[in-house]
Structure 1
Amino acid sequence: MASSLLAFFTVMDNQDGIIVRDPPKFDLDLYIQNYKGRTRFDRLFLIGRSSVPLCVDALKASIAEAKRGRDTQRYREAVECLRIAAPSDQDATFDQTWLETQEKANKAETNRLLTELKGYKNNLIKESIRMGHEDLGKHLESIGDLNAAAEAYSKMRPDVSTPKQFLDVGKHLVRVSIQRREWGMVSAHLSKMGGAQHAEEEKAVQPYLKIAQGIALLGQEKYKEAAQSFLLADSAVSASSYSELASQSDVASYGGLLALASMGRDELQHNVLDNAQFRTFLEQAPHIRRAVAQFVSGRYSACIAILESYRPDYLLDIYLQKHIATIYSQIRSKCIVQYLIPFSCVSMDTMNKAFGGPGQSIEDELADMIQSGALEARINTIDNLVTTKAANPRAQMQESALRVTENYERQALDRLRRMGLAAAELELKGGKKTGVGFAGDLLVDESLG
């Protein structure tokens, strides 16, 4: 088994896959129960391809999930991976009978739905045509033909007649676009849905829109905009309305991590910790709340320690995996910069103790931050100190004096203008409106000719 796993992860490593050797904190069975739809297979298959401790269990679960559906290509991929990772496992052999039966059933169902749709079009019944396209789209999506499914869903639009139907079309297209990782198309479909909302539908669909938009922005590496979208999701709506995208714990993790990477301390306090709407999500991921609270309180090493302990979990998330290195790097850089703000110099030993691991030095990391402009400081290797850029009190005083002078001059000119208007009797006074009118922004007395 060990040699088979080694061979499997060697293949994954050669394919530039991310290998996670530490066990995550979640239980696989409880974790996957939070989701419905095709995302269940996607998440199980990613864990199977990435997690050394959970590899076999996740691949076996992904095979079982594939056999509960209709997508034979997914089944082939999962079995092929398990065949390399655990060749002696009974699930590592292709169930040829199931494959042939399912492929025949898929083909027959496709032909049946196409025939029904053709009949609906001949009868010119709009509602039947809409439902025919929807049934065909759902079937094509279930067998993995996402391009054809998106086309079928798009053809529903001319025949929709209610706000709910319009939103359903948008959700279908958003779901397919997310599976295809077409983030620009996700945003385009969401903008159409948002523009067509009605009061009775708005509350039910709001969290779906915000979470889908956050996922799309995350995929485009727009971290602050993504954080703001997740933080605006309404936690009062049932999680089942968006469980095909993410769980409540996921929303807390996405929103909290991206906020830590892109927002300042005041923004974190207001948008995350004091956000009553987001608090329900944070209750599902209390470690995220602790990490944000530690950052806001200035306990930066504690914040980083919490996040590092959950790194394996985030590396096994289908949306976060590719971004974790960047997100953690940004959070870490922010912590170092904030840590140094109150001091003119700090010993390297203190910095290593706060941000380095056992026996590790962060000197190279600090040098990279200084070189990139992220940190204004100098490293004194002789005295083993990190010296921050000293403020220039003289320049600050001069700048403050200039601002005060400019403000005083602006106020003086405003007062002189008012005095001139009063002296020329051009003021607009109550009860004396006759003969006075406006010309642009100036008061004009018509009696003056």
Structure 2
Amino acid sequence: MADPLLEFFTQMDIQGGVVVQGEYSPKFDLDLYIQNYRGRTRFDRLLLIGRSSVKLCVEALKAALAEAKRGRDTQRYRDVFEYLRVAAPNDPDAVFDKKWVDRQDVANHEETQRLLTELKGYKNNLVKESIRMGNEDLAKHYEAIGDLNAASEHYSKMRPDVSTAKHVIDVGKHLVRVAIQRREWSMVAPHLVKMTLGGQYPEEERNAQPFIRVASGIALLGQEKYWEAALSFLDADPNVPPKAYNELASRNDIAVYGGLLALATMDRKQLQSMVLENQNFRVFLEPEPHIRRAVTMFVNGRYSACIEILEGYRTDYLLDIYLQKHVSKIYAKIRSKCVVQYLIPFSCVSLDTLEKAFGSPERPIEEELAVMIEEGVLEARIDGLERLVNTVKIDPRAQMQASALVSAENYEKQAIERLRRMAIAAADLELMPTKKQGLHLPLGGDISFGDQEIVMG
């Protein structure tokens, strides 16, 4: 008889999902992990783990099923039940609770109608604060039942009726949260901009700062803007309680996202100053000491140790809701940087030495180096006969000559521009400043436009 779990993950693989095999066990405890979050992201993370991890599949799907029943979104319950039914058909929890679904659907419909009626009454009374609260209650209800389009619409309708700084920030948080759930990365930045208060309310801005930084980093990560995303996470304020942003991410996530993206995009000096010596970010790194060790190893030139540390946590990152699609690309960037930095002091290195330092069972180092050379990441040549990698060193004399040619071209462009300006001045065709406004033709024949005047002679 076929193994249902094997068939389940075979289907997930066919559909293009990420499957983490059983021999690669995650390092986190599922119960402790999910306690770091609140809101709808709890379900999303549990479902992703259930669909991706062979070891945690059934446990995560059962936890997601229980999380769905604690909420009001019946479609989520139907979705996770279907996954659990296929993965573990004999599990006691794999029994569809039709009574709960029917009862919750009726309750959702009644609550929707009640809130719509209340909002209509508030609009008839023309009380702005009541209208704002009515739209907020209705939007939260739509978000809770999974109608994110309607939730976003009613959150947006709150804007004309806000009256305090807190209201402005709350509206922004609601819209950002919904945009991230819908994976509308490009919509996050405009909502975040509207949350800025221009320094008029420092306390509210300080409390909102971590949420803004985390949300901005997640959106930039989703758009593969890794450098900008790293700066956002590195700038988060650790003194604000996690409750301010744990609907999106935890303190551990900030450390992991910021550390990995910094390793992928920053050089050694930047890592030292912006990560290791960043007093605020060091607070986030405390619960994730392996990230700090990996960055330290890279800064100290121990590149193989850095890669080894990160490879030990690859499974955990493949089960992260925002990192999963980017793990391969981020790790490839970090490996490429390590190889390039390793080769800088040498003119020639054997392939066996590189294989020992950076070898991977999935891909021979020679093939990896060839791709790096083709993409222009590495300036080197591979000697397949002698099994050597010869780095291409820039001739200092040629570099000086090229720099001199560039300087000469720039000087020539500047000289031509100055001669042109002198000719214009000699022909009395200069644009002269004037206090006159508008376009008119004075008696002397001069034409004035805005604050400039063309003297016709």
Same fold, TM exceeding 0.5?
Answer: yes
Q: Give the unaligned 5+ runs of structure 1.
A: 407-449
> Quick one: which of 158, 161, 166 aligns to 1:159?
161
Cα deviations across residues 239-285 of structure 1 (Å, max 9, x unaligned)?
11101010000000000000111111111111100000111101121
Give the drift of 1:309.
0.5
Distance, in Å, in 2 between the alignment partners of 1:132 and 1:9 is 44
Contact conserved, 1:59 with 1:81, CA < 8 A, in 2?
A: yes
Letter in 1 for 2:283: T
Cα deviations across residues 289-311 of structure 1 (Å, max 9, x unaligned)?
00011011110000000111000
Mapped pair 1:314 → 2:317: yes
> Quick one: which of 237, 250, 253 aligns to 1:250?
253
Give the drift of 1:200.
2.3
Aligned to 2:78: 76
Q: What does residue range 8-407 of structure 1 map to in structure 2 within 5 Å? A: 8-21=8-21, 22-195=24-197, 198-357=201-360, 361-396=364-399, 398=401
Distance, in Å, in 2 between the alignment partners of 1:383 and 1:376 is 18
SS of the residue corresponding to residue 195 of structure 2 reads helix
SS of the residue corresponding to residue 93 of structure 2 reads helix
Letter in 2 for 1:5: L
Distance, in Å, in 1 between the alignment partners of 2:361 and 2:78 is 45
Greater CA deviation, 97-106 or 190-199? 190-199
Give the drift of 1:191.
1.1
Cα deviations across residues 310-355 of structure 1 (Å, max 9, x unaligned)?
0000000000000111000111111101100000000111000000
Distance, in Å, in 2 between the alignment partners of 1:128 and 1:401 is 70
TM-score by length of 2: 0.86
Change (3 A) 1:173 1:67: same
Contact conserved, 2:165 with 2:197, CA < 8 A, in 1?
A: no
User: Percent identity, aligned pairs only?
Assistant: 68
SS of the residue corresponding to residue 379 of structure 1 reads strand
Change (3 A) 1:129 1:301: same
Distance, in Å, in 2 between the alignment partners of 1:103 and 1:302 is 54
Distance, in Å, in 2 between the alignment partners of 1:2 and 1:338 is 49
Aligned to 2:7: 7
Letter in 2 for 1:206: Q
SS of the residue corresponding to residue 310 of structure 2 reads helix
Change (3 A) 1:381 1:200: same
Residue-pair matches, total: 407
TM-score by length of 1: 0.88
Change (3 A) 1:375 1:126: same
Distance, in Å, in 1 between the alignment partners of 2:71 and 2:191 is 26
Letter in 2 for 1:12: M
Contact conserved, 2:217 with 2:228, CA < 8 A, in 1?
A: yes
Q: Give the unaligned 5+ runs of structure 2.
A: 410-457
Distance, in Å, in 2 between the alignment partners of 1:394 and 1:72 is 71
Give the drift of 1:109.
0.5
